[in-house]
Amino acid sequence: MQVEVLPNAGSPLLPYLEDKLVIVIDVLRATSTMVTALANGCQSIIPVLSPEDAMERRLTLPGSLLGGERNALPIEGFDLGNSPFDYVPEKVGGKRVIITTTNGTRAIRDASAAPKIWMASFLNMHSIVRAVLRQFENSDKLQGVVVFCAGTEERFDLPDTLCAGMLIDGLGAKATLNDLGEAARILYRSSESNLVDKISDSVHGKRLISLGFERDVVYCSTPNILPVIPVFEEGEVVWLTED
């Protein structure tokens, strides 16, 4: 199985996404928040690129909520920020959420040529690894996996890369890797026992902590607690129904 890791949204994308399973990772915090929202009964998440797009989209979806961030902070007039702790069952249960974030929603849109797009985070990694392995046992149509780290403002992001490394570690020796995939595996293995510290010390982690979101950073660094596989289909992120 060919596994290629891309460092950030805005990475040059080759046309071969057309036969790849793409796994989008934005640990701090978009994909962690989407996983949490679905686990808490959210009906679907609609990623859009800008706050203006979000408000326009809501006009066609009565009863939906608006969520997201700019510069890590909630957007004025929106119902929810980008903290997973905003997405509690009482707020998002049974609802659609239209969401816009700086890096994560952009990566999902960048990947839209792919036939399958899933969202990973530390929270749901065990389920993602099992689903990827099952996918490649059953299908000869997919030609590999592209792990698409959202990054931070078009830069390499250590939390996303560590999460990609955990995925690669879980896939085992069968995976053929690009250089960033090999780097991610080494980084994860050397940081496995102190993930929270490494993520807290990253540029994005420190910024969130300085804004009062330390609880988010610790939560988003916790592996394997939610059995959700969010899949992007027809413009919405929903809980994957296994065949």
Residues contributing to the site for a second copy (CB under 8 A) = 7, 12, 152, 154-158, 161, 178-180, 182-183, 186-187, 189-191, 201-204
C-alpha distances in angstroms, 77 versus 96, 107, 118?
A: 17, 24, 29
Judged by beta carbon, residue 44 or residue 191, the one nearer a second copy is 191
Torsion of CA 171, 174, 179, 184, to 10 degrees: 20
Question: In angstroms, what is the minimal distance from the CB of 21 to a second copy?
Answer: 20
Q: SS3 letters for 159-227?
A: HHHHHHHHHHHHHHHHCEECHHHHHHHHHHHHHHHHHHHHHHHCHHHHHHHHCCCHHHHHHHCCCCCCC
Cβ proximity to a second copy: between 96 and 185 the closer is 185
- Smallest gap, in angstroms, from Cβ of residue 14 to a second copy? 10
Q: For residues 211 and 188, what is the distance between their CA atoms, to the nearest angstrom?
A: 26
* Helix ranges restricted to H, the chain: 30-39, 51-59, 89-92, 104-110, 125-138, 158-171, 179-191, 195-201, 203-210, 214-220
The CB-side HSE value for 195 (13 A sphere, CA atoms) comes to: 22
Q: How far is the CB of 184 from a second copy (least distance, A)?
A: 9
Question: Rg for the chain (alpha carbons), in Å?
Answer: 17
Q: How far apart are CA 121 and CA 134, in angstroms?
A: 19
For residue 162, the minimal CB distance to a second copy (Å) is 9
Q: Shortest approach of a second copy to residue 127 CB, angstroms?
A: 26
Q: How far is the CB of 36 from a second copy (least distance, A)?
A: 24
52 or 197: CB nearest a second copy: 197
Residue nearer to a second copy on the CB measure, 154 or 233: 154
Nearer to a second copy by Cβ, of 76 and 179: the residue is 179
Nearest residue (CB) to a second copy, 29 versus 58: 29
